[in-house]
Amino acid sequence: MDHNNTSNFIKDIIIKDLETGKHDKVITRFPPEPNGYLHIGHAKSIILNFGLADEFNGLTNLRFDDTNPAKEDIEYVNSIKEDVKWLGFDWDGLFFASNYFEEMYNHAVLLIKKGLAYVDDLSADEIREYRGTLTEPGKESPFRNRSVEENLELFEKMRSGNYGNGEKVLRAKIDMGSPNINLRDPIIYRITHATHHNTGDKWCIYPMYAFAHPLEDAIEGVTHSICTIEFEDQRPLYNWVVENCEMDSKPQQIEFGRLNITNTVMSKRKLKKLVDEGFVDGWDDPRMPTISGMRRKGFTPASIREFVRETGVSKGSGAVDSQMLDHFVREDLKLKAPRTMGVVRPLKIVITNYPEGQVEWLDAENNPEVPEMGMRKIPFSREIYIEQDDFMENPPAKYHRLFPGNEVRLKHAYFIKCEEFIKDENGEVIELHCTYDPETKSGTGFTGRKVKGTIHWVEASVAVPAEFRLYEPLILDETGEDDSEGEEKTFLDHVNPNSIEILQGFVEPNMAETKVQDKFQFFRHGYFNVDPKMTTKEKLVFNRIVSLKSSFKL
């Protein structure tokens, strides 16, 4: 595995813990909530957790943090497993928080018995009101001083289904005057009457994240519990839970800055909105920053891993330029993807001096940078397609492609000269008549004269029809999301109405053999992936992953 060999502050902590003997084995976990598909931000957490354990011969669990049945689904569980594997990682233990519900319940009972938890009848609004603010201390609930016996009885009744949603909660009894709001008697259990994807209708009370997460980590013997920076203020509560529930294992929570990318929203809540409101065509739409969307667009696991490695690990969370992702996929595909020719906006050419009915097969390299990738034969005849933009009736200066009287090189073939153009009734150019010079055949070493332009083409009679999907950023806001837990920005206002362009063109005939997810570099157009969902026996659909050029410099 190509893990990160550069140092970072989390690695320094681990090295010290191993040196001092605090731990003899590193155990990390990746703990997604199965309430959506994984995105590129999760890839950062995956690579960090698996990468660190890997580097120190430790273990990494995949643990589903499934404590909120209303939003979770087995579809998400399955997609998450697939995505983690696709990124190149293999978990040691596969766990579900829901497998620990009984154990967590017992820990809550222990807290009640120790006088450290109580059942509260205040409503959600009242609890919020009583909590105070950053500058004002909170106020104690009138139910705070219930007896242990009463709390035990009420908590059991909560479990048995005697109350409706929100009627009662269990709260940790810590300190309503704490400067850290997270310690002002946080809710640790709530009532939710909903069917859970794993435990069905067995439970109607569910532990809150802040209570469940430290217990899950401790139960599994996780040594380093890596999470994003917004949980920093929850660390004292995390430690309080581990301590007061008398857990044998004492995991350490370590926070790092989340990954943010320009022109990208990443929180699952926002991504779900894009799906639910039809802005995209599902979680795996190639415009989505989800792992499944990026896979479908054509990103490779290696390009994502390299990108994440380059972003580094720190406490800060400035937005990374989205072009950096493009850079890494270009780098990865440069020597792997075969090169070929495809015409996305076809314009027909008749080569008037080429013999009718003749087809010749020309030699073309599959990747001039990688001779081992071999050669292929491409057909050439009297009728070919070129790009509409490779012809102009009245070209500006420095236009070196086809215009009346001008000569260009056809890649892998001959020089052709534009003799005539034909327009339809709307004045659109629909066909060119050209002549070719047999002396100029590619590979024969012709040096008689030079032309300035080289264009691509596809022979018309056997060309394979193909659809090309070209993408622009889905979100026009260049600042990048700052924090998924932050206030709802009007991100839907920034959705690009022109994020996709669908074109019907042609590719070389040997492309009929391609399989979904195969990747190619189309000469002059960029890198493309054969779409796994839209491609049918009748029609190939190519997603453009990235264009060839970028001004981006690392």
Binding region for ligand ATP (CB under 6 A):
31-33, 41-42, 44-45, 227-228, 258-259, 266-268, 484
In angstroms, give the least distance from the CB of 489 to ligand ATP: 14
How would DSSP label each residue in 316-338?
Answer: --PEEPTHHHHHHHHHHHHTTSP
* Catalytic residue status for 44: no
Phi, psi at 178, each rounded to 5°: -60, 140
The answer to whether the beta carbons of residues 58 and 91 sit under 8 Å apart is no
In angstroms, give the least distance from the CB of 209 to ligand ATP: 8
Say which residues have a Cβ less than 8 Å from residue 87's Cβ, sequence separation at least 6: 43, 46, 47, 291, 301, 304, 305
In angstroms, give the least distance from the CB of 232 to ligand ATP: 12
**Which residue sits closest to ligand ATP, CB atoms considered?**
41
Centre a 10 Å sphere on the Cβ of residue 426 and count the other Cβ atoms it contains. Answer: 6
Complex with ligand ATP: residue 328 or 527, whichever CB lies closer: 328
For residue 387, give the H/E element and its range. Answer: strand 383-387
Q: CA-to-CA distance for 33 and 94, rounded, in angstroms?
A: 14
* Catalytic residue status for 33: yes
Length of the chain as a residue count: 554
Q: Which of 463, 458, 410, 403 is nearest to 436 (CA)?
A: 410
Q: How far apart are the first and last CA of the chain?
A: 23
* Catalytic residue status for 488: no
In angstroms, give the least distance from the CB of 34 to ligand ATP: 8
Q: CA-to-CA distance for 407 and 400, rounded, in angstroms?
A: 9
Q: CA-to-CA distance for 514 and 493, rounded, in angstroms?
A: 39
Say which residues have a Cβ less than 8 Å from residue 358's Cβ, sequence separation at least 6: 381, 382
Centre a 10 Å sphere on the Cβ of residue 489 and count the other Cβ atoms it contains. Answer: 14
Amino acid letter, residue 529: N
In angstroms, give the least distance from the CB of 224 to ligand ATP: 12
In angstroms, give the least distance from the CB of 80 to ligand ATP: 8
Complex with ligand ATP: residue 43 or 351, whichever CB lies closer: 43
Q: CA-to-CA distance for 239 and 250, rounded, in angstroms?
A: 8
Angstrom CA distances, 167 to 93, 118, 123, 307, 345, stand at 37, 14, 7, 47, 63
Complex with ligand ATP: residue 23 or 39, whichever CB lies closer: 39
| Active-site choice (33, 150, 156, 310) | 33
In angstroms, give the least distance from the CB of 227 to ligand ATP: 5
Complex with ligand ATP: residue 30 or 468, whichever CB lies closer: 30
Q: CA-to-CA distance for 491 and 250, rounded, in angstroms?
A: 40
Complex with ligand ATP: residue 38 or 341, whichever CB lies closer: 38
| Active-site choice (258, 305, 382, 519) | 258
Complex with ligand ATP: residue 65 or 390, whichever CB lies closer: 65
| Active-site choice (159, 268, 296, 339) | 268
Amino acid letter, residue 229: I
Complex with ligand ATP: residue 39 or 330, whichever CB lies closer: 39
Complex with ligand ATP: residue 44 or 456, whichever CB lies closer: 44
How would DSSP label each residue in 57-126?
Answer: T-EEEEEE----GGG--HHHHHHHHHHHHHTT---S-EEEGGGGHHHHHHHHHHHHHTT-EEEE---HHH
In angstroms, give the least distance from the CB of 277 to ligand ATP: 17
Catalytic annotation, residues: 33, 258, 268
